[in-house]
Amino acid sequence: MSSTRRRVEYEIVKRLVGPALMQVDHAQRRVKSLRKRAAKPAGPFGPPLESVRKLKELMTRHYLEGRYADGAVPVAWVTSGFPVEVLRPLGYHAVYPENHAALCGVQRVVPHLSEATEEVGYARDLCSYARTDIGSVMLQETPVGRLPKPDLLCCCTNICQTVLYWYRSLAAHFQVPLVLIDPPFVYGEAKPHHRQFVRDQLDELLVVAARVAKRRAPSMDEIVGVTKLAREGTRLWGECLAESRNKPAPWTGIDGFFHIAPIVTLRGTAECNAYYRQLRDELRHRVAQGIGGVREEKHRLLWDNLPIWFDVRGMSTLLAEHGFNFVCTSYTNAWAEAGSRIDPADPLGSAVFAYTDIILNQDLGKRFGTLARLAEEYSCDGAVLHSDRSCKPYSIGQLDLKQRLAKQLDIKVMVLEADHGDPRAYAVEQGHGRLTAFMESFS
């Protein structure tokens, strides 16, 4: 199929088919929602957010467009902490395998995909996100229908080193270039030569990304334009999160794990920012009306680490039934804080700071400072630290963090062992039993 024809199909889907399908889907979901509300008695949660429908529409369109992207526009598979602002001016369609793996976790297809990966020799101790996406590529199976073949793989090790080996495997499979941004781990403050090292890599990224896209290097004005959108998007996301400082919090931290999707996958786009304006305004309206994410909020908790995607509903329901709400999480907060460092006046220089000084690339003292500040700002009287089998960099040091949080803030803290994607590494009954015992300690 010619690239011209492929581009025409892509534009038709993006501009006509996608919006039309979303209108139909919106109407169908609206009818289902009204039927549910009429038939189902009130549970422990407040009224569902109206913005959920827009979120599903936005993400469905993103994945639908992706089915037709390769051959029409340049495609990059990107790690979550990568400076995507450099790619957008070149017209790349960005795919985030971590977001895709999270979706697979919610759909509970991780064991099937992971087993395919393990059968060819990958260890079960490997991150479940990596096993899920490698398995999806091998089997050519995905809940979203189809992922576009990448022209470029973009990896940043500011979240962990696993992503580098994961993306090397993808590069070998697809036979496409892999570009790496490798920020040094930050103890205290990054040294000037550390930041120069990252800046040199960003300059190289511009050259490689333009060559693969077969386009001229983006002008500084184009990069500045995307950077402005990215900065505004992260600011809006931060404003959404900040509404949970109110009592009761207008939504739950579990809600936040789902609504984070646009700032990850669509950062630097007008669609992303429009969505968060809508969400922020709805949350502010709920605050004004005294509507909480949990109907009877009694205790406010901090969550550290990734969610347990396959058990978010069961766990959040158990907590809400006893009046507990995760009003803030370190993971969702990281997307607001890192993005706030992006400065359109110096897009590349500020990107060095934004993508180097993130929570997983900082020493334990800074991580404690972040958790302590969040717990105080959001008036938390407890915290749950998820010791995630699949995310060892995020989990290391949590026993020390537990002791320091409990002692210095005088709050109750527990460590919950689980996995963010693979249900084979977590006993739901045991986990819920430990959470129940934790809640009873507040009596």
- Lowest-confidence segment of 16-25, 151-160, 205-214, 224-233 by average pLDDT: 16-25
Binning pLDDT at 50, 70 and 90, where does residue 12 land? confident
**Amino acid, single-letter form, for residue 40:** K
The span from the CA of 172 to the CA of 162, in Å, is: 16
The token duo for 33 is: 């929602």
Interval 281-299: pLDDT, tens: 999 999 999 999 999 999 9
HSE-up of 33 (CA within 13 Å, CB side)? 13
The token duo for 393 is: 């960099």
Residue 41 pLDDT: 46
Average pLDDT across the chain, whole number: 93
Interval 25-43: pLDDT, tens: 555 555 455 455 444 546 9
pLDDT at 55 over 90: yes
Q: What percent of the chain has pLDDT over 90?
A: 88
Phi, then psi, of 35 in degrees rounded to 5: -65, -40
Prediction pTM value: 0.92
**Amino acid, single-letter form, for residue 187:** Y
pLDDT at 255 over 90: yes
Binning pLDDT at 50, 70 and 90, where does residue 394 land? very high
Query: How many degrees, rounded to 5, is the angle at CA 270 between CA 203 and CA 377?
Result: 85
pLDDT at 403 over 70: yes
Residue 28 pLDDT: 54
- Of the candidates 237, 238, 432, 249, the one whose C-alpha atom is nearest the C-alpha of residue 326 is 249
